[in-house]
Structure 1
Amino acid sequence: MSPTLQEPRAVVVTNSAWTLWHFRRALLRALASEGLEVVACGPPDPEWGGRLSSAGIRYEPVYFHQSGTNPLRDLRTIAGLYRLYRRERPRLVHHFSTKAVIYGSLAAHLARVPRIFNTVTGKGYGFRSSPLVRSALVGLYRAALRGATATTFQNPQDRQDFLARGIVDESTSCVIQGSGVDTDYFAPAPEADQDGEPSAASSAPLRFLMFSRMIWDKGVREYIDAADAVVATLREEGSASVPTFTLLGGSRPGNPEGVLDEWINNPGAIDPEWLERRTRESAVRWLPHDDDVRAHILQADVVVLPSY
């Protein structure tokens, strides 16, 4: 049965069903609580798309070529999103990730979706590519975001850059303080014993933790170099308390279990053999991917996020 205008509908799109499940589920539920029929959209993914469906969220797969710049493949994405929007007739769409923001917005304009929202979670590696790629990306962003209802950023520098390049304007863009983190699920734990006294761990060496996708733009090399410099300096000074440094994420060479293909195939992905070799000679302890990072966070005193 074809959708009707009496069925208010919202479509949320990103380039990963895993991301929809982990970071956008609360948004999907909030939209549903407002009386909208919610459709989640991303690339075909039986596992994470299936989890969304089992949770009562309809999942519609559309082709995405995760890391390439082949225009014919990207036209296939625009066509797929256009057909989805024409079929569903959503009252609003919300796009996350570079390709979803650009191609989803272009498709939404063509399909005459009345309200188009975008969230730019980061500029990505395209803005650090060759001048030709960067120029093409800016042109695509301008065409896509022109006429959008609103564009939100998670980084004030990204918004200023988009404003300076004429991609967005002041009246329809803003900065939010992050999105997608469930603060009930990731709840802080008090650093004290049951009697209210500071725990014994408070006198132990500081424990630093970085967890992220293993791509260069996350600052992995910088974290390892900084850790080695700190440890070397403290040892030279004869310090009795030398901090520990842990790096969490990625996969061992030849064993990508638990790591998404788009992370491994990202143009900025770090060779796991380099990681294994570099951390073997470093003060940093490297732990591969873990689906639940909460235990690692609770064991750390300082979380380091040196993303570019």
Structure 2
Amino acid sequence: MRIAIVINTAWNIYNFRMGLIRSFLDKNYEVHTIAPPDGYEKHLIQEGCKHHLVTLENKGTNPRKDISYIYQLYKLYKKIRPDVILHFTIKPNLYGTVAAKLLGIPVINNVSGLGTVFLRENRSSKIARELYKYVFKFPDKVFFQNSDDLQYFIEKGLVNQRITDLLPGSGVNIQKFQPEVFKRNSKFTFLLAARLIQDKGIHEYAEAARIVLQTYPDIRFLLVGFKDESPFGVKELTLQNWIDQGVLEYLGPTDDIQSVFRHADCVVLPSYREGTPRSLLEAAAMAKPIIATNVPGCIEVVDDQINGFLCEAKNGKDLAEKMIKMLSLSDHDLQQMGQASRIKIEEKFDEDFVIQKYHRSIENILSFSSSNSLTSSVATG
């Protein structure tokens, strides 16, 4: 069996899909990973993948570069001849599907969230919808990470419901992300782990921090994640001002998010919309209470008043109120919320659920293709 996995960054593959990849390698499948160079391809190769470099314009849409990306994928797919291709993130989902269709290769796509383009009603969002409507006629299976996104695609006529299915996000490795003995920090510590774009609610996090610090000056607000140079990224000057003014502590990106989570009393994600946020899944697996926005994706992970609090999107004041409510909890109640997080992950978001769904889907698709080929051979024979 030969499988290709296509995502917009090798970092994404290594950090979010290695459980799935290792399950393929354990079956002696030949795994080909395809992504632009970012330094993480060496880790994929060390794991046993055959990695292929492509160039991809991740920020915005450039028709010439996008056509080039389709052609690069077409050449690779033709050379590799995978039995099935797994696409993740917007451009691989769209352009990779076109390349695979031209070669008659089965495809499974994963819509991990609607993304920034769907959060704004403009020319780009209209183009994206038209592209999805055309391209998503071709996949053999399309996974969604929450029911809201799935329903949106069906209602807008962007996908045939027959080929869709739901996944519990990307799942989380509950053996890797384990809770530790509960201990409240002497300075209560909030943490936001996300790419530094406006739609993750970074500005609201800083606004809420300012409000809380007026009454509770010893509270810490940590921020972890990659900077983003797109038009939607947090401006460097703005970030530096937050740091200089003592509002936020920026720790940069990390490959060891477990260590960062260990130092947090509560993990926060004030995002405008999500698929199913990996940061919340990992934090919950480590028995952390959560504050997140009452939006699709986040509500899949947070049960309000049970394992955390939900707040209004784009409302720093409401977020601050939920933070004060969280830090005012007794040790017992804080620990109970964390334990509820862990239980929820074990019951609904174990990575094994995701892995098994992929294996079953691949087997069904290839079995169907094989029976169709046999029927065709008999008919023409």
TM-score band w.r.t. shorter chain: 0.7 to 0.9
Which moves more between the two structures, 277-286 or 221-230? Answer: 277-286
SS at match of 1:50: helix
* Structure 2: distance between partners of 1:100 and 1:209: 31
User: Are the structure 2 counterparts of residues 272 and 183 from structure 1 closer, same or farther at C-alpha, using a change threshold of 3 Å?
Assistant: farther
* Structure 2: distance between partners of 1:63 and 1:242: 46
The residue number in structure 2 matching 1:244 is: 220
CA contact (8 A) 2:243 2:249 kept: yes
Residue 208 (1) aligns with residue 199 (2) = no
Give the deviation of 1:92 after TM superposition: 0.7
Which moves more between the two structures, 294-303 or 121-130? Answer: 121-130
The residue number in structure 2 matching 1:127 is: 118
CA contact (8 A) 2:88 2:111 kept: yes
* 1:225-265 alpha-carbon deviations (Å, 9 max, x no partner): 12222333x45xxxxx9643222234xxxxxxxxxxxx533
CA contact (8 A) 1:106 1:143 kept: no
The residue number in structure 1 matching 2:108 is: 117
- State the aligned residue count: 272
The residue number in structure 1 matching 2:304 is: none
User: Are the structure 2 counterparts of residues 44 and 297 from structure 1 closer, same or farther at C-alpha, using a change threshold of 3 Å?
Assistant: closer
Which moves more between the two structures, 30-39 or 12-21? Answer: 30-39
* 1:156-183 alpha-carbon deviations (Å, 9 max, x no partner): 3222221221112332223322216433
Amino acid at match of 1:182: N
Alignment of 1:70-89 (within 5 A): 70-89=62-81
User: Are the structure 2 counterparts of residues 181 and 265 from structure 1 closer, same or farther at C-alpha, using a change threshold of 3 Å?
Assistant: farther
Compute the TM-score of the two structures, normalised by the length of structure 1. Answer: 0.81
The residue number in structure 1 matching 2:376 is: none
CA contact (8 A) 2:97 2:138 kept: no
Amino acid at match of 1:17: A
Compute the TM-score of the two structures, normalised by the length of structure 2. Answer: 0.66
CA contact (8 A) 1:26 1:180 kept: no
Give the deviation of 1:305 after TM superposition: 1.5
SS at match of 2:40: helix
The residue number in structure 2 matching 1:258 is: none
CA contact (8 A) 1:146 1:168 kept: yes
- 1:148 pairs with one of 117, 139, 146: 139
* Structure 2: distance between partners of 1:51 and 1:229: 42
User: Are the structure 2 counterparts of residues 286 and 62 from structure 1 closer, same or farther at C-alpha, using a change threshold of 3 Å?
Assistant: closer
User: Are the structure 2 counterparts of residues 267 and 183 from structure 1 closer, same or farther at C-alpha, using a change threshold of 3 Å?
Assistant: farther
Residue 229 (1) aligns with residue 211 (2) = yes
Gaps of 5+ in 2: 273-381
* Structure 2: distance between partners of 1:79 and 1:207: 48
SS at match of 2:91: helix
The residue number in structure 2 matching 1:253 is: none
Q: Which has the higher helix share?
A: 2
Alignment of 1:55-66 (within 5 A): 55-66=47-58
* Structure 1: distance between partners of 2:133 and 2:253: 36
CA contact (8 A) 2:90 2:111 kept: yes
The residue number in structure 2 matching 1:299 is: 263
